[in-house]
Amino acid sequence: MKTYLKLLRVNHYIKNLLIFLPLIFSGNFFNIPMLKITILSFISFCLMASAIYIFNDLLDYEKDRLHPKKKYRPIASDKISKTQAKIIFTVLIILSLLIELSLYWFGKISLNTLIISISLLLLYLIINIFYSILGKHIPILDILLLSFGFILRVFFGGSVTQVTISSWLYLTILSFSLYLVLGKRKGELEKNKDFQRKVLKYYTVPYLEKFMNIYLALTLAFYSLWCATNTIVDNNLLIYSIFFIIFIVMKYSLNIENTQNEYMGDPVEVVLHDKILLLGILLYAIYMGGILYGKYLGL
């Protein structure tokens, strides 16, 4: 079982929590029908994401077998055969689409919502297949494609619940996703010189750091504007959440600057292996939860 969970990259499902942002920030988290739809769509998206990870591992089979760490992946180590992986890949895509279709069949979403959600799932699949085959070898495009994946998660979450994504929230996530991807490339460039991605030869650390600084500054600016213009709750309380965000991004930045960090800037690994960073995220979630949903607790 552990081998199959590793194949599916279950730990990377944390990125798919972005699907819940439209529901949470719109004040609808305790709207049970919308919450159920979002949970099922989250599962659907996770299955599609796992299918993509399998496709990428199949594509990089020979290269991964020569990599000091990736050679232990289930497919590269032959713990799971290529044939088994292809079957699982196909089944995951079918299950992902069936879950979305079931929401329509049981009257949970409209036909228009179904078309949009299925289209976004397929778009995510197509873009990532393109990225795995060609896109990841093209400088700048590789960064934009990975960043687009974060944005797509948010729009997918908004589409299934019919929640409109505010412009400032969209720009915040776009900027932060670009910062994360640039940081990942920087880590790979600095700490993985023997087994580099081909695209890394086009980048330099100063180039990546320059744009990381730009997008980090934009993230804080856009988030502040989202807080200041949000009409769902008291703006005066919401704006103070920026202190949590500042701490989180500063701690995250400190981690990826640490030359002893073995995770090469991978956002999931950096977050999961830092208890202080996790605590900062938890405190932010509690504060935001209190502001957005305090009325349910009589606050």
282 & 136 share domain = no
155 & 11 share domain = yes
pLDDT at 259: 58
Sign of CA pseudo-dihedral 4, 50, 132, 188: negative
Tell me which of 143, 165, 187 is where a domain ends. Answer: 165
Residue 156's pLDDT band (boundaries 50, 70, 90)? very high
149 & 184 share domain = no
Where is average pLDDT lowest: 96-100, 123-127, 232-236?
Answer: 232-236
Where is average pLDDT lowest: 40-44, 192-196, 221-225, 288-292?
Answer: 192-196
Asked if pLDDT for residue 232 goes beyond 80, the answer is no
Asked if pLDDT for residue 194 goes beyond 60, the answer is no
Tell me which of 165, 189, 209 is where a domain ends. Answer: 165
Mean of the pLDDT values across residues 235-263? 85
Tokens of 232: 């769902």
Residue 266's pLDDT band (boundaries 50, 70, 90)? confident
CA proximity to 97, closest of 122, 127, 129, 128: 122
44 & 147 share domain = yes
* Whole-structure pTM value: 0.93
Residue 100 corresponds to which amino acid? Answer: E
> Residue 99 sits in which domain range?
1-165
243 & 260 share domain = yes
Give the whole-number percent of the chain exceeding pLDDT 70: 94
Mean of the pLDDT values across residues 197-225? 93
Mean of the pLDDT values across residues 229-247? 86
Mean of the pLDDT values across residues 95-102? 96
199 & 66 share domain = no
Mean of the pLDDT values across residues 267-271? 87
Maximum distance among all Cα pairs of the chain, rounded to whole angstroms: 58
Residue 102's pLDDT band (boundaries 50, 70, 90)? very high
Give the chain's mean pLDDT: 90
pLDDT at 65: 85
Mean of the pLDDT values across residues 184-198? 76
Report helix angle 205-229 to 167-191, nearest 10. Answer: 160
Asked if pLDDT for residue 229 goes beyond 80, the answer is yes
Asked if pLDDT for residue 299 goes beyond 70, the answer is no
Is the Cβ–Cβ distance between 18 and 29 less than 8 Å?
no
Q: Please provide the DSSP assignment of 39-97 as one string.
A: HHHHHHHHHHHHHHHHHHHHHTHHHHTTSTTGGGSTTTTTSS-HHHHHHHHHHHHHHHH
Residues with Cβ within 8 Å of 128's Cβ and at least 6 positions away in sequence, in order, are 52, 55, 56, 145, 149
| Number of domains composing the chain | 2
pLDDT at 263: 63
Residue 62's pLDDT band (boundaries 50, 70, 90)? confident
220 & 133 share domain = no
Residue 195's pLDDT band (boundaries 50, 70, 90)? low
Give the phi and the psi of residue 80 in degrees, each rounded to 5. -125, 125
Higher pLDDT, 266 or 192: 266
> Can you give the CATH number for the domain in which 153 is found?
1.10.357.140
CA proximity to 103, closest of 2, 177, 34, 176: 34
pLDDT at 168: 93
21 & 137 share domain = yes
Residue 160 corresponds to which amino acid? Answer: V
